[in-house]
A and B are shown apart, each in its own frame.
With several copies, the nearest count.
Chain A
Amino acid sequence: MKKIEAVIRHEKLNQVKAALESVDISGMTVQEVRGRGEQKGLEFINRAGKYRVDLLPKMLVTIVVPDNKVAAIVDALIHGARTGEIGDGKIFVSEVERCIRIRTGEEGDEAL
């Protein structure tokens, strides 16, 4: 099975969730992260000057799925998260060897 990690915009989370539901994915884990890519940060102001924050708040969505679902999910993620402007984020796919459901001890794809 595969782990898909997507770094997306905060405000896109709801749309990404909706897109994932449309391809029948409900299991996921979400975290608040900060990141930097081509988008080099944002300017903020304090009481009498500007300062730059180079690490911007993003959401990291992690989904572990059977190999055959990866393509559909990547499409759904892109669909839900894209605005076309710098800062839309990235998707990383890697291999997972085992998955166990703690409640039942089940293993493998049925545990997802």
Chain B
Amino acid sequence: MAYDTGAIAWMITSTALVLMMTPAVGFFYGGMLKKNSMLSMLGQSLIVMGVVTIIWVVFGFSLAFGADTGGLIGNLDFLLMNGIGVFSEPPALLWFPTTIPPLLYMLFQATFAMITVALIIGGIAERMKLAAITVFLAIWTALIYIPVAHWVWGGGWIFQMGALDFAGGTVVHITAGVTVLAATLVIGKRLSKTNGCTEEPAHNIPFVVLGGALLWIGWFGFNGGSALGANEIAVNAVVVTTISAAVAGVVWGLISYLHLGRTSVLGMITGAVVGLVAITPASGFVDTNGAMVIGIIAPMISYGAIQLRKRLGFDDALDVWACHGMGGTFGAIATGLLATSAVNPAVVSQGLLYGGGIDLLVKQLTAVGAVWAFVFVVVFVLMKVMVTVWPKWRISKEEERIGVDIVQHGENAYS
């Protein structure tokens, strides 16, 4: 089969860019913690890359993207890459691209699974044993990520219903964000949050910016690659992605200036990431004006969600729920408002503000609500079971005081 070499070139590049996002998250998160926790974030990124790759190659890809069974899950045809060798024809399934080898599609999707799982580690940071985190994330990949990816992208019920999620508002950001919300309700607070402790400042903001900048670049592959080819949709995706991120960064800076009197750099890079999150589901469907709107509103929503989290008091260490959960939710809904067939013929009913009525919006809300509910319930139950059957899932107070890096990895980040 003769593939399009331009598509292959772009999709390998995209895959490399998305792969980079997982260690980038390690820097983005690690820099925000105190210095005795830096390595835990980097180390967990590496563990995620390994564990998810193995799951994905062995059965995950097959269950997510194999032929659909009842709208809920894929089949096992592609176990261990069976039938999707590099020279095999692409399977005759709607969602497989025909311009690139299926094996490349597999790897591209693998990098999405990695980054999604990696997003979680920032929220539940600094209290679980490494083994418990690893087991939790592995089960999570199988129980949450794979089904939801199937529903939305692999021919499942949301796919069939026609809700739009270009690059992962529901699959990636809502799943990760809601997981942290549910999980932290079960596992409780870190010691340092229990009594009226002074907030620990970010230990290395340049690393946060480095991670954030690499995430931004990686998002070219994340959103641009989701077009699965080097085409107009990919171009639109990278353009609106850049606009949303750039605008959201300065808007967050402005909010922090108005609210606190200073223009926080940590805030600006967070804002840019929130802009990236929110544009993700929309990036194949909205135009440059839509991107401006999303870039302006998204940081307001996540900023507000952080204030809410502080009031509610659950210990989402790095605000994964506020930034990814709420950012992704906003983006998914905004898609229902702003989608336009002018940038993508695949948009059959226009967004509400583009004259398409509430049809698409309802579908978007349905998808969002279903994924929220599914993730929240499964994670909550899973965590409850886990803390019950595995009493030693938590590090001790003494270990928390000493810091996770030394306790779990036997290393200091700096010396």
Direct contact of A and B (CB under 8 A): yes
Residue numbers of A with Cβ under 8 A of B are 9, 11-12, 14, 42-54, 83
Q: What per-residue 1/0 map shows which CB atoms of B396-415 lie under 8 Å from chain A? A: 00100111001001111000
Which of B198, B201, B270, B411 has the most chain A CB atoms inside 10 A of its CB? B198
A-B contact pairs, 18 of them (CB 8 A): A9-B401, A11-B402, A44-B411, A44-B412, A45-B256, A45-B260, A45-B262, A45-B411, A46-B199, A46-B267, A47-B256, A48-B270, A49-B199, A49-B310, A50-B410, A51-B199, A53-B201, A83-B398
What band does the interface of chain B fall in when counting residues whose beta carbon is under 8 Å from A?
20 to 34
Decide: A48 near B199, CB < 8 A? Known: A11-B401, A11-B402, A43-B410.
Answer: no
Contact, CB under 8 Å: A45 / B401: no
State A83–B399 Cα separation when bound (angstroms).
Answer: 13
Q: B307 an interface residue at 8 Å Cβ cutoff? A: yes
* In the complex, residue of chain A having the shortest beta-carbon distance to the beta carbon of B259: A48
Residue of B264, B307, B319 near A45 (CB, 8 A) is B264
State A49–B201 Cα separation when bound (angstroms).
Answer: 11
State A51–B410 Cα separation when bound (angstroms).
Answer: 10
Decide: A46 near B198, CB < 8 A? Known: A11-B401, A11-B402.
Answer: no
Q: B80 an interface residue at 8 Å Cβ cutoff? A: no
Contact, CB under 8 Å: B202 / A46: yes
Residue of A9, A11, A47, A52 near B306 (CB, 8 A) is A47
B residues in contact with A49, CB < 8 Å: 199, 260, 306-307, 310
A residues in contact with B264, CB < 8 Å: 45-47
* In the complex, residue of chain A having the shortest beta-carbon distance to the beta carbon of B202: A46
A residues in contact with B252, CB < 8 Å: 47
Q: B2 an interface residue at 8 Å Cβ cutoff? A: no
* In the complex, residue of chain A having the shortest beta-carbon distance to the beta carbon of B260: A45
A-B interface pairs (CB < 8 A), number: 60
Q: B1 an interface residue at 8 Å Cβ cutoff? A: no
Contact, CB under 8 Å: A48 / B256: yes
Contact, CB under 8 Å: B198 / A48: no
Q: A51-B201, A83-B398 are in contact. List 6 more A-B contacts (CB 8 A).
A: A9-B401, A14-B197, A46-B202, A47-B256, A48-B259, A50-B410
A residues in contact with B402, CB < 8 Å: 11
* In the complex, residue of chain B having the shortest beta-carbon distance to the beta carbon of A49: B310
State A11–B306 Cα separation when bound (angstroms).
Answer: 27
A residues in contact with B306, CB < 8 Å: 47-49
State A65–B257 Cα separation when bound (angstroms).
Answer: 41
Q: B217 an interface residue at 8 Å Cβ cutoff? A: no
B30 to chain A, nearest CB (A): 15
A54 to chain B, nearest CB (A): 7
B270 to chain A, nearest CB (A): 5
Q: What per-residue 1/0 map shows which CB atoms of B255-269 lie under 8 Å from chain A? A: 010011010101100
Q: What per-residue 1/0 map shows which CB atoms of B185-209 lie under 8 Å from chain A? A: 0000000000001110110000000
Which of A42, A43, A49, A54 has the most chain B CB atoms inside 10 A of its CB? A49
Decide: A48 near B307, CB < 8 A? Known: A14-B197, A54-B198.
Answer: yes
Q: B376 an interface residue at 8 Å Cβ cutoff? A: no
Which of B199, B402, B406 has the most chain A CB atoms inside 10 A of its CB? B199
Contact, CB under 8 Å: B412 / A46: no
Considering only residues 225-265 of chain B, those with a C-beta below 8 Å from chain A are: 252, 256, 259-260, 262, 264
Q: What per-residue 1/0 map shows which CB atoms of B326-347 lie under 8 Å from chain A? A: 0000000000000000000000
